[in-house]
Amino acid sequence: MSRKNNTLKFVAVDEYGKEAPPKYLPIEGIENLYVFGSIDANSALYNFLGKKKVSVHFFDYYEHYSGSFQPKEYLLAGKMQVEQTKAYLSTKRRLYIAQSIIEGAAYNMAYNLKYYNRRGKDLSSFISDIANLKASTKEVQSVSELMGLEGNIRQVYYAAFEKIIEHFEMNGRHRNPPSNEVNALISFGNMMCYTSCLDMIYHTQLNPTISFLHEPGVRRYSLALDLAELFKPVIVDRVIFKVLNRRMLKEEHFEKHTGGCFLNEKGKKVFIQAFEEKIKETVKHKNLNKKVSYKHLIKLECYKLAKYLLKIEQEYAAFKIWW
């Protein structure tokens, strides 16, 4: 990949070293690049991408997220850094934010199940179990307890997938590596959601390494993991239900190796296209009184959290689907 005037020039090379005709990608139509294989590029290209505020996300052979090239953090502010750190160090404020995130995530998961329950899938027992677990969030005394509760909620939620998804079986959540087609899509989609949240964080003054639900770690953007909890049910899971139940993805779009199941090249293209279409969909915002995209909803969530951290707002209510 290289720069050609104000256009990206991409030349694919097959396993025999034969080059395909070049494809030209107008830079103005690109917000992110997702790299799932090897790519040859030079510093001039990355300088160009940085000036145009285009992020590049890298994944390894097994579809694990490896890292990102991000444009210069031109929006970082010292006051936000200080207040975000103070909120993390405050046991009370950190737990408050983490509880709100889990409540929002549980609400969004239950909302998905209620949608299919109304369509004859009989998911009432799963919905009831999630409601009971969600009610316990205010009772926990630490973030580690809250993470355990979140794990229980997700276990119930994923068990309901067996009744929602047609043509494929999930047989429980399995990672590293994913054990079957449904698990492969969950892992792949969650990474896509994570990078989308990371992109939106970079459009605000928030520091992506200081989180509240997940523990901050070395070389990871844990705040993106926090926000992804809210949007995985709304974006990723709905895409999974769509591509499987409509037979957009079939057995031939997956491959099994090294003891796991993964999307092949054609499968990735189908899923990424469906994912991109989803995050570009618009809904009418209940407060702004205008249509906004799913991606913009993530940015608005960043702004909401930032206002709470700066004490512009006294409360933080995590995103809950309303449409």
- For residue 174, the domain's CATH number is 1.20.120.920
* Residue whose token pair is 């001039």: 44
Looking at the structure, tell me whether residues 236 and 139 fall in a common domain: yes
Is 43 a member of any domain? yes
Residue 208 confidence (pLDDT): 92
Both 117 and 138 in a single domain? yes
> Do 105 and 195 fall into the same domain?
yes
Residue 261 confidence (pLDDT): 93
| Domain assignment present for 315 | no
| pLDDT 10s digits, 206-245 | 999 999 999 987 667 899 999 999 999 999 999 999 999 9
Residues 6+ apart with CB under 8 A from 10: 1, 22, 23, 24, 25
- Mean per-residue pLDDT, 265-292: 94
Q: Which domain holds residue 45?
A: 2-69
- Structural domains of the chain, count: 2
Above 70 in pLDDT, residue 63?
no
**318 in a domain, yes or no?**
no
pTM for this predicted structure? 0.84
Whether residues 139 and 50 fall in one domain: no
Cα 103-323-133 angle, rounded to 5 deg: 20
Picking from 69, 86, 114, the residue at the C-terminal end of a domain is: 69
What is the spatial distance between Cα 133 and Cα 110, in angstroms, rounded to a whole number? Answer: 11
Co-location of 208 and 259 in the same domain: yes
In a domain, residue 319? The reply is: no
Give the tens place of pLDDT for each residue, 240-266: 999 999 999 999 999 998 889 999 999
Residue 16 located in a structural domain = yes
pLDDT exceeding 90 applies to what percent of the chain? 66
Q: Give me 150's structure tokens.
A: 């979140």
Q: Which residues contact 79 (CB under 8 A, 6 or more apart)?
A: 310
Phi-psi region of 156 (alpha: psi -120 to 50; beta: other; left: phi over 0): alpha
- CA-closest candidate to residue 295, choices 187, 226, 198: 198
